[in-house]
Chain A
Amino acid sequence: GAGVSQSPSNKVTEKGKDVELRCDPISGHTALYWYRQSLGQGLEFLIYFQGNSAPDKSGLPSDRFSAERTGGSVSTLTIQRTQQEDSAVYLCASSLAPDNTQYFGPGTRLTVL
C-alpha cells in the first residue's frame, strides 16, 4: 500500500516568509509525528498527534511553529516568519497506534535564504 507522503519535497523561501509543509500518513494510522533533522541538532521530535488532537507539542522550538491535523489524516506544519535556523529536513511519520512502529515519509527539505 501507499506509504507516508510529504509535500513539497523541497522548499526554498526567504527569511520572514511563512511556509506550510504537508504530510499524508498511511491510511488508517491514528498516530502522526513530526520530526526535524538538521546538521547541528540531529533528529528531534517536534509534535505528536493522536487523531486530530496534539497531546504533546513539547518539541516545537518556538511559537512560530504550529501544526494541525484534520479528519484524522492529513497534517500541516506551519512555520511563520521563517529564520535561517529553520533550515532543515522536516520528516513526518505515522503509526497504526501510538505504541506501534513509526513509518517515515521522504521528508521536506526547507532552505531559508
Chain B
Amino acid sequence: AQKITQTQPGMFVQEKEAVTLDCTYDTSDPSYGLFWYKQPSSGEMIFLIYQGSYDQQNATEGRYSLNFQKARKSANLVISASQLGDSAMYFCAMRVSNFGNEKLTFGTGTRLTIIP
C-alpha cells in the first residue's frame, strides 16, 4: 500500500523567508510520481509542482522547488521568498499506477501561515 506522511500540521513563517514543508512517502513500486497541491481558504486544489521517480534533477517551478531524496523517500517542498498569499493548506500526494488508474494518495496536509 502507498502512504504519504506530512508531520507538520501547522507552520508559521515570516514574510520573505524561505520555508520547507516536509513529505515522506512509502511505496514498493519503482515508478511513481510526487505532487504538491496548494489549497487556499477558497477550497480549490491548485497544482504546484511534480517530480517523477526517475527524474534526475529536482523539479522547480518559479518560487517552488522540490527537494527529492529518493533513498530517504522524501519529497520536501521549498518555497523561496514567502508571500502573504502563500498562506494556505499544502498537500503532498503520490501517484502509483494501478491497472491504469493513476489515483492520488494524499498526506494530511500542512497549514502554512505567513506572518507580515
Contact = CB atoms under 8 A, between A and B. Distances in A.
Interface residues of B, number: 26
A25 interface: no
B103 A107 contact: no
B11 interface: no
A84 B64 CA distance: 39
Contact of B100 (A35, A55, A105, A109): A55
A56 B47 CA distance: 23
B106 A55 contact: no
A110 interface: no
Interface stretch (B14-22, B73-81, B91-99): B91-99
Interface in B24-65: 33, 35, 37, 42-47, 50
Interface string A40-53: 00111100101000
B102 A55 contact: no
Top 9 A-B pairs ranked by shortest CB distance?
A: A104-B45, A43-B106, A56-B101, A98-B102, A45-B103, A106-B44, A48-B101, A107-B43, A99-B102
Interface of A: 31, 33, 35, 42-45, 48, 50, 55-56, 59, 89, 91, 93, 95, 98-99, 101-107, 109
Interface of B: 33, 35, 37, 42-47, 50, 91, 93, 95, 97-109
Given A42-B107, A102-B104, 16 more contacts: A35-B104, A42-B109, A43-B93, A43-B106, A44-B106, A45-B103, A48-B101, A55-B101, A89-B43, A93-B104, A95-B102, A98-B101, A104-B45, A105-B44, A106-B43, A109-B43
24 contacts: A33-B103, A42-B108, A42-B109, A43-B91, A43-B93, A43-B106, A44-B106, A45-B103, A45-B105, A55-B101, A91-B45, A98-B101, A98-B102, A99-B97, A99-B102, A101-B47, A102-B35, A102-B102, A103-B47, A105-B44, A106-B42, A107-B43, A107-B44, A109-B43
